[in-house]
Each structure stands twice: as C-alpha cells, then as structure tokens.
C-alpha cells in the first residue's frame, strides 16, 4: 500500500537552532501535503497545506516565518522549524494526498517528535 515516510523520526536540538523535517510519499505522487502538529493529550492540529510548486497555505495562528514549508516535488515536502524554542517541542505529522488505484485519499507519515532543550 501507499507509504508516507518522515525523517527524522525524532530530533533533539538546542534552543535557537533550526530543524528540518522531510516528508516523502513513496508509492504515489502527492499533489497536496499537509502538516499537522499534535500537542500532548490533544488532537492533531492542521498547520499548513502545501501544493507542489506553490506557496503553502497556513492556518490561522501559525507563523509562516517560523514554520517554513517547501513542497519542491510531487513526492517531497519539508517543514523547517526556524530558531526553535522549547515551546515548539511537539509531535509533527505530515500527510500526503494523492491518487492510488484511481481513488484519492490521504496517507499519514509516522510523525517526527521534536524536543527543543
């Protein structure tokens, strides 16, 4: 079946550094990729939507300059957390929307756990 991968699966960094998270669709072309964030004990919150070759659309309250999203190809999207701070520590999940077998659906990556010290 379709697989979406994320790299790294977890990362620990110092406050002030930038962290890049990759999201790849392995079996299909993802016309749209979504980035979610999950706070402890809470549901997933959509951060932004990116379409290949165009600028990402951010949800209200999400800082564009803080969370840089690049969707350079139909199989790769990256999320860069710039100048990370401890409050950015969270679980980041991407999902990719594409067609497989003629049916369009959305597949989730395994998530990236970020800890900012």
- State how far the alpha carbon of 37 is from the alpha carbons of 1, 29, 53, 103, in Å: 24, 23, 23, 26
HSE, side-chain direction, 13 A CA sphere, residue 12: 1
Smallest separation (angstroms) from other proteins to the CB of 95:
7
HSE of 64, CA atoms in CB hemisphere, 13 A? 8
Nearer to other proteins, 84 or 94 (CB): 94
Query: What x-and-dash track marks residues 25-44 binding other proteins by CB under 8 A?
Result: ---------x------xxxx
- Give the torsion sign (CA, 87, 21, 95, 74): positive
Q: Does 95 bind other proteins (CB under 8 A)?
A: yes
- Binding test (CB under 8 A) with other proteins, winner from 15, 63, 110, 115: 110
Q: Which residues bind other proteins (CB under 8 A)?
A: 34, 41-44, 46, 49, 93, 95, 103, 105-106, 108-111
């Amino acid at each position: 079946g379709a697989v979406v991968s994320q790299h790294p699966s977890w990362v620990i960094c110092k406050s002030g550094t930038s962290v890049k998270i990759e999201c790849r669709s392995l079996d299909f072309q993802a016309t749209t990729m979504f980035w979610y964030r999950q706070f402890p004990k809470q549901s997933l919150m959509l951060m932004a939507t990116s379409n290949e070759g165009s600028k990402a659309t951010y949800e209200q309250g999400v800082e564009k300059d803080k969370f840089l999203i690049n969707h350079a190809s139909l199989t790769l999207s990256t999320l860069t957390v710039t100048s990370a701070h401890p409050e950015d520590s969270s679980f980041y999940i991407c999902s990719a929307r594409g067609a497989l077998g003629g049916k369009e659906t959305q597949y989730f990556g395994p998530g990236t756990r970020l800890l900012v010290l």
